[in-house]
Chains A and B, each alone.
Chain A
Amino acid sequence: MNLVIIDYGSGNLRSVENAFKNSVKINKLNFTIQVTNKLGLISKADHLVLPGVGSFPDCKKGLEDIKGLIKLLTNEVIKNKKKFLGICVGMQLMVDFSLEKQRTEGFRWLDGYFKKIGKKGLDYLGRDYKIPHMGWNNLQFEYNNHPILENITENEQFYFVHSFVLESKKPNQIIASTNYSQKIPAIIGKGNYIGVQFHPEKSGNSGQKFIYNWLKWCP
């Protein structure tokens, strides 16, 4: 299998590459991993990963600067049903739009938009809810027995760092959520494409389990 991590100038490519390579090595999977922005290689790939850190508008611009990339992605993922994983801003890009800085359009593969996390009240220790939502948080599964969650429990924690949250009228596209001042969709998806708000590449053993699940997942 051939996996492509899409390189469009977003920051955490190395971390994503390292974590996926580690999973392939430890689990003895037959995968090659390439980090590239070349459309030819992306269209030849079996699976696609779209990382993303920074702001939504910056990431969108980074993608737009590579001519034809967004159109190709939609074609490969929606029409050709290639397995896809969006990470953090890479996940946010999968929905209709985001209100970060200004309204910026997403890929419109999933319903909804991103708005700033509302921070009402105090946490269980009487502390303010700080933004970004930064650190390790657990998941609540909204979907029973999804293969992506195999061997993962609701007590396990994943590393989050984000300030925007998905607002959507379609709860059936939410696979797992987390809680920080409000309910926050943590894994979203439909069919062959999945997006995660957390960083599996920075989520220790639990992150490695998630990556392994995704790699062997056959949607």
Chain B
Amino acid sequence: MLSTRVIACLDVHNGRTVKGINFINLKDAGDPVEQAKQYSTIGADEICFLDISATHEKRRAMFNVISKTAESCFVPLTVGGGVNDLSDFRDLLNSGADKVSINSSAVYNPKLIKQSSDKFGNQCVVLAIDAIENISMPSGYEVTTHGGRKKTNIDALKWAKQGVKNGAGEILLTSMKSDGTKKGYNLKLTNLVSKNVSVPVIASGGAGSPKDMVEVVLKAGASAVLAASIFHYGIHTINSVKNEMSKNGILVRDCEN
């Protein structure tokens, strides 16, 4: 039976990891390639790089990071951040990314979802939605861009459904209110989107303990859980998260094999 995925996310700025984990045996905690390799060794089911570089030039560093990671890291690799058009998509895939997540660019250029899924297949198009509560929206949630700073007046659920219709193969759903709080995922939002789209939904934003992961799967139907900062300080590991999930009847991949 299919395991519920635990995805480790790394923020990368100018080719360097922001808030990298202090793995004991790591030569360079700021090297995303080393970080990704460690994560895959300790059982992360997927690695997600989010490029937060400010300029296009600095983004070139990302291609190098991806191609080096793909040489030694044999789990799926998702890359997002600053993907504006089909040529960005192609460059990332050619560097070794398996999936590309698009967020702001899909909002400002809605055709990009269809174009990219037609061109590269829906398995590699991840629609990232940063949602924020807004009671004037039909679903109660609004899509934001630029890390939650810009509102779009687009209903989050409608946007998710439209994205899937246009060819997104997966939805990476972040609750901007929960993000960084470590108080748990937004169950209501995750459940709402998960119930209403046919593709897998990755819950993101707010994970503070392994129990949060359990909750968002059991109560909100998430297909996968993504976390960044929970792993950074070594208090919780991929393994402790998977143990807790397993104890609660959620199938996870045992990476001992």
Contact = CB atoms under 8 A, between A and B. Distances in A.
A4 to B, nearest CB: 19
A14 B67 contact: yes
Interface string B169-187: 1100000000000000000
A125 B74 contact: no
Contacts of A125: 217-218, 221, 249-250
A203 to B, nearest CB: 7
Contact of B257 (A127, A131, A155, A179): A155
Interface string B123-162: 1100000000000000000000000000000000000000
B72 A157 contact: no
B213 to A, nearest CB: 13
Interface in A114-156: 123-128, 130-138, 153, 155-156
Contacts of A167: none
A202 B74 CA distance: 5
Given A18-B71, A18-B96, A206 B257 contact: yes
A130 B199 contact: yes
Identify whether the interface residues of A are mostly helix, strand, loop, or mixed. Answer: mixed
A126 B253 CA distance: 19
Interface of B: 1-5, 40, 45, 67, 70-72, 74-76, 93-96, 98, 120-124, 169-170, 194-195, 198-201, 217-218, 221, 223-224, 249-251, 253-255, 257
Interface of A: 11-12, 14-15, 18-19, 22, 53-55, 58, 123-128, 130-138, 153, 155-157, 159-163, 179-180, 199, 201-208
